[in-house]
Amino acid sequence: MFADDLEQIIEKHNHTQLDISADKDKSKFDSYIPAYVKSHLNLSVDGKAIDLSYIGFEKEKESAYSYFQAENISSVKKIDINNSILHDFTSDQINIIHVIVNGKRQSTKLDYPNTAASFSF
């Protein structure tokens, strides 16, 4: 995500002023980012909802990367994704999704207001 977009939507949802580049605000972002992402991103594998565990985030130039992982998935035939990240920020939002399973990569682009994507392997 663009770091300033993420910062602004986190501020809006939490009614606070933050700086994504400031060390003093890192722990707040570590709390707010997973709450925001989990409320706007849902995954299911072969029809079973997947719980994502937050790993952390980093800011690199104008981008912010947030990292999540899913555990105990033995095989994948189909992945369904519902992604509305930053749809509450701008109606120009475009979300690009890349999925890699067993070395096979599939990608799609979701233009606002579209939120749903499916991948079959």
Number of compact structural domains in the chain = 1
Classify each residue of 74-94 as buried b or exposed e, where b means 16 or more C-beta atoms within 10 Å of its C-beta: eeeeebbbebbbbbebeeebe
pLDDT by residue, tens only, the chain of 121 residues: 999 999 999 999 999 999 999 999 999 999 999 999 999 999 999 999 999 999 999 999 999 999 999 988 989 999 999 999 999 999 999 999 999 998 999 999 999 999 999 999 9
Tell me, what's the pLDDT at 62?
Answer: 96
Q: Can you give the residue range of the structural domain that contains 14?
A: 3-120
